[in-house]
């Protein structure tokens, strides 16, 4: 699922670098490495372990093929989400630079797609599920959720970049089922290793959870509203548009001066999601308008990142 | 992989500063990625940079070929899809060809150039010098140390993983891969050994008086000559991009 440099535009690449840098700084602050210096060599050797484990293939039960471990969820289960995110970022940097697996411009996209969803969404889900069900079920569900979100991000980032002509629905229908299968395999592999380690060394499992219940619930609600309910939002004008409609007879005022036209053209070329839709328009499945749903989900993430920045800056200032 | 890196380390002269290499590589990839879907011809002159570096530093062609081949599958699938989704025709020199083919070729060239640039950076810059360059770019010290530690142990663990797989295959010659039930305990053992190694590494580091802040990473001085070389190369790439639209 590694994104390549050839597929993304510099704007998307840099935006994802920014998002990754924000999450990495937040993780560094939360980790408090000065207090737990012992974790540093552990992060280093576990990063190297992920490389090694990926070399050992296993037979996928019920099929004739083989698969290997991805390692994100396993790292989160062993190190906690913050250390796991940083370890994965370093692993992906080495893969991009030394093995050309994923690009350098696409590094931010890859860390976000493979690290953020696994450590900050799939892992908390795994911890919740493991209290109620068995390790196999928890691992498979968490790995599937993490990979589905990651694969969906690849689709969105590729379409926003506009470097290839791929209809949203076709690309998503190609990526999501493949990553469903990969997620199940990843979950099984993670469960196989963790259940062995739990028996041999139970003290190694971590108890570190990144988000409290309120933030998690609000985040999920925002994604649900942005991703699904935005499609059935009213098509009637909002308050301001209604007032303009009543006074000027049109919902939007159009200026005709050269400066306004030039600025409007610039805005149209810079806008990633003009009019809450994809640049080439979005397909729809039944009542679900894909373009609007993608805009909703992207919007939720942008707002979440924007909310994180002042919090991190405030913490920095306090420590300085 | 490591052999290609090591042999290049021994035979070449380290005359390009790692910070220069890092900045030039990023600008180069940035410029390559910024070209539009059908910019096949415009991208070709940009191949001069990696080719010059490969020839000048006599970099391992075998390694470069292997890395390039490994990067191809995903990009080929996405590129091939363009043949089904783009039905227009465009003029290419004197011919009228299907735009899908041109888009496919452009994607392959872009991917090749980006991978070549990253590989040139990897093969010409020792990891400790790269770490110094990252520090001077204000990348947090902890991440840089983490990079050095992971890199230090990757090749050790790869050897160990190879031995484990070989031992299993010798005992079960008819198996294409390891059965999942056995795989869990096999990789689990490797993981437990990893933890023990981490303990030993930590003890050794503590005995030598290690602390994150005190760990010495050499930052090479960036001379005026190297600065000028970097700025000129970066400006050349950007000017080329602005002129060829």
**pLDDT in tens for each of the 320 residues of chain A?**
788 898 899 999 999 999 999 999 999 988 876 556 778 888 888 898 888 887 777 777 766 667 678 888 999 998 999 999 999 999 999 888 877 778 899 999 999 999 999 999 999 999 999 988 889 999 999 999 999 999 999 999 999 998 888 888 888 988 899 889 889 988 998 998 888 888 887 766 554 444 444 455 445 555 655 565 555 554 555 544 544 455 556 655 555 566 556 656 655 555 556 665 665 555 665 556 666 666 666 665 655 555 555 555 555 566 55
Please give the pLDDT value at position B39.
87
**Amino acid A209: pLDDT:** 44
At A304 the pLDDT is: 59
From the list A149, A151, A90, the residue with the least C-alpha distance to A300 is A149
Same domain, B96 and B33: yes
Contact pairs from chain A to chain B, CB under 8 Å: 241
When pLDDT is averaged across residues B215-220 and rounded to a whole number, the result is 77
- Please indicate, yes or no, whether residues B119 and B172 belong to a single structural domain of this protein: no
CA distance A82 to A175: 28
Q: What is the pLDDT of residues B55-112, one digit of tens each?
A: 999 898 998 998 899 888 888 988 898 888 888 888 877 788 888 899 999 999 999 9
Tell me, yes or no, whether B215 lies in a domain: no
Domains and CATH numbers, chain A: 5-211 (1.10.1760.20), 213-320 (no CATH)
Contact A164 B81 (CB under 8 A): yes
pLDDT at B118: 93
Do B197 and B87 lie in one domain? The reply is no
- Number of structural domains, chain B? 2
Domain shared by B182 and B232, yes or no: no
Q: What is the mean pLDDT of residues B31-50?
A: 92
What residues in B contact A105, CB-CB < 8 Å?
A: 26, 29-30, 33, 114
To test the contact with chain B by mutation, choose from A3, A29, A45 the residue with the greatest count of B C-beta atoms within 10 A, namely: A45
Determine the distance in angstroms separating the CA of B64 from the nearest CA of chain A, rounded to an integer.
10
Could you tell me if residue B192 is inside a domain?
yes
Decide if A165 touches B, using CB distance below 8 A: yes
- Domain-located, residue B80: yes
More confident residue, B25 or A297: B25
Are B39 and B103 contained in the same domain? yes
Nearest residue in chain A measured CA to CA from B75: A4
| Nearest-CA distance A229 → chain B (Å) | 30
What tokens appear for A44 in the block?
Answer: 């280093």
Partner B contacted by A109 (CB < 8 A): no
- Residue of A143, A193, A54 whose CA lies nearest to B181: A193
Question: Residue by residue, what is the 3-state secondary structure of chain B?
Answer: CHHHHHHHHHHCCCCCCHHHHHHHHHHHHHHHHHCCCCCHHHHHHHHHHHHHHHHHHCCCHHHHHHHHHHHHHHHHHHHHHHHHHCCCEEEECCEEEEHHHHHHHHHHHHHHHHHHHHHHHHHHCCHHHHHHHHHHCCCCHHHHHHHHHHHHHHHHHHHHHHHHHHHHHHHCCCCCCEEHHHHHHHHHHHHHHHHHHHHHHHHHHHHCCCCCCCCCCCCCCCCHHHHHHHHHHHHHHHHHHHHCC
Is B174 contained in some domain? yes
Inform me whether the C-beta atom of residue B26 falls under 8 Å from chain A C-beta atoms: yes
Between A57 and B243, the higher pLDDT residue: B243
Task: Indicate whether B62 and B158 sit together in one domain.
Answer: no
Contact A46 B158 (CB under 8 A): no
Q: Are residues B9 and B114 located together in one domain of the fold?
A: yes
B160 shares its domain with B194:
yes
Are B212 and A41 inside 8 Å of each other by CB? no
Contacts B183 to A, Cβ<8 Å:
56, 58, 189, 192
Shared domain for B236 and B178, answered yes or no, is: no
Whether residues B191 and B231 fall in one domain: no
Half-sphere exposure of residue A255: CA atoms within 13 angstroms, side-chain side: 9
**Is there a single domain that holds both residue B39 and residue B116?**
yes
Q: Flag whether residue B78 sits within 8 Å of chain A, measured between CB atoms.
A: yes
With CA atoms as reference, the chain B residue closest to A69 would be: B187
Same domain for B111 and B8:
yes
pTM of the model: 0.76
* B214 within some domain: no
Burial of B45 (0-12, 13-18, 19+ CB in 10 A): exposed
Q: Name which of A9, A45, A192 is nearest B184 (Cβ-Cβ).
A: A192
**What ipTM describes this predicted complex?**
0.86
Residue B119 counted as domain residue: yes
Residue B137 covered by a domain = no
Residue B8 lies in a domain: yes
- Condensed to tens digits (0 to 9), the pLDDT of residues B140-185 reads 888 998 899 888 888 888 888 888 888 888 888 777 778 887 888 8
Structural domain of residue B92, as residue ranges?
2-125+220-243
């Amino acid at each position: 699922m590694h994104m390549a440099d050839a597929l993304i535009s510099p704007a998307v690449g840099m935006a994802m670098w920014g998002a990754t840098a924000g999450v990495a700084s937040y993780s560094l602050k939360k980790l408090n490495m000065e207090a737990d210096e012992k974790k540093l060599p552990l992060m280093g050797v576990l990063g190297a372990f992920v490389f090694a484990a990926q070399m050992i293939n296993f037979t996928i039960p019920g099929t004739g093929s083989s698969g290997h471990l991805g390692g994100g969820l396993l790292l989160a289960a062993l190190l906690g989400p913050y250390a796991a995110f940083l370890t994965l970022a370093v692993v992906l940097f080495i893969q991009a630079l030394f093995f050309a697996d994923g690009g350098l411009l696409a590094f931010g996209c890859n860390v976000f797609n493979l690290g953020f969803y696994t450590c900050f969404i799939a892992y908390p889900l795994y911890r919740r599920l493991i209290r109620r069900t068995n390790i196999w079920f928890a691992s498979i569900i968490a790995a599937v959720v993490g990979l589905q979100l990651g694969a969906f991000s690849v689709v969105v980032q590729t379409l926003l970049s506009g470097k290839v002509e791929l209809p949203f629905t076709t690309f998503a229908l190609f990526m999501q089922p493949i990553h469903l299968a990969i997620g199940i395999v990843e979950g099984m592999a993670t469960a196989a290793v963790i259940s062995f380690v739990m028996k041999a060394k139970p003290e190694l499992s971590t108890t570190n959870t990144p988000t409290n219940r309120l933030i998690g619930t609000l985040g999920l609600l925002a994604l649900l509203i942005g991703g699904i309910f935005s499609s059935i939002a009213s098509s009637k004008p909002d308050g301001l548009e209604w007032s303009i409609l009543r006074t000027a007879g049109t919902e939007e005022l159009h200026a005709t001066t050269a400066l306004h036209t030039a600025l409007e053209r610039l805005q149209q070329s810079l806008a990633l999601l003009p009019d809450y839709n994809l640049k080439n328009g979005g397909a729809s499945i039944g009542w679900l308008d894909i373009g609007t749903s993608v805009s909703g989900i992207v919007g939720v993430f942008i707002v979440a990142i924007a909310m994180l920045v002042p919090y991190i800056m405030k913490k920095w200032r306090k420590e300085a | 992989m490591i052999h290609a890196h090591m042999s290049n380390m021994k035979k070449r002269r380290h005359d390009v500063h790692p910070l220069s290499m890092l900045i030039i590589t990023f600008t180069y990839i940035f410029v390559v990625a910024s070209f539009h879907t059908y910019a096949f011809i415009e991208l070709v002159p940009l191949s001069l940079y990696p080719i010059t570096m490969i020839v000048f530093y006599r970099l391992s062609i075998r390694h470069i070929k292997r890395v390039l081949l490994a990067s191809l599958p995903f990009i080929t699938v996405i590129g091939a899809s363009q043949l089904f989704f783009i039905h227009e025709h465009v003029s290419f020199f004197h011919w009228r060809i299907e735009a899908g083919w041109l888009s496919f070729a452009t994607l392959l060239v872009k991917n090749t150039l980006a991978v070549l640039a990253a590989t040139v950076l990897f093969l010409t810059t020792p990891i400790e010098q790269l770490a110094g360059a990252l520090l001077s770019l204000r990348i947090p010290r902890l991440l840089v140390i983490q990079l050095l530690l992971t890199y230090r142990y990757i090749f050790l663990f790869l050897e160990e993983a190879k031995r484990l797989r070989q031992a299993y295959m010798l005992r079960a010659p008819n198996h294409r891969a390891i059965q999942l039930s056995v795989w869990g305990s096999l990789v689990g053992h490797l993981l437990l050994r990893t933890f023990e190694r981490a303990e030993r590494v930590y003890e050794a580091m503590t005995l030598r008086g290690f602390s994150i802040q005190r760990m010495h990473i050499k930052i090479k001085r960036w001379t005026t000559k190297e600065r000028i070389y970097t700025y000129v190369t970066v400006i050349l790439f950007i000017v080329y991009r602005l002129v060829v639209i």
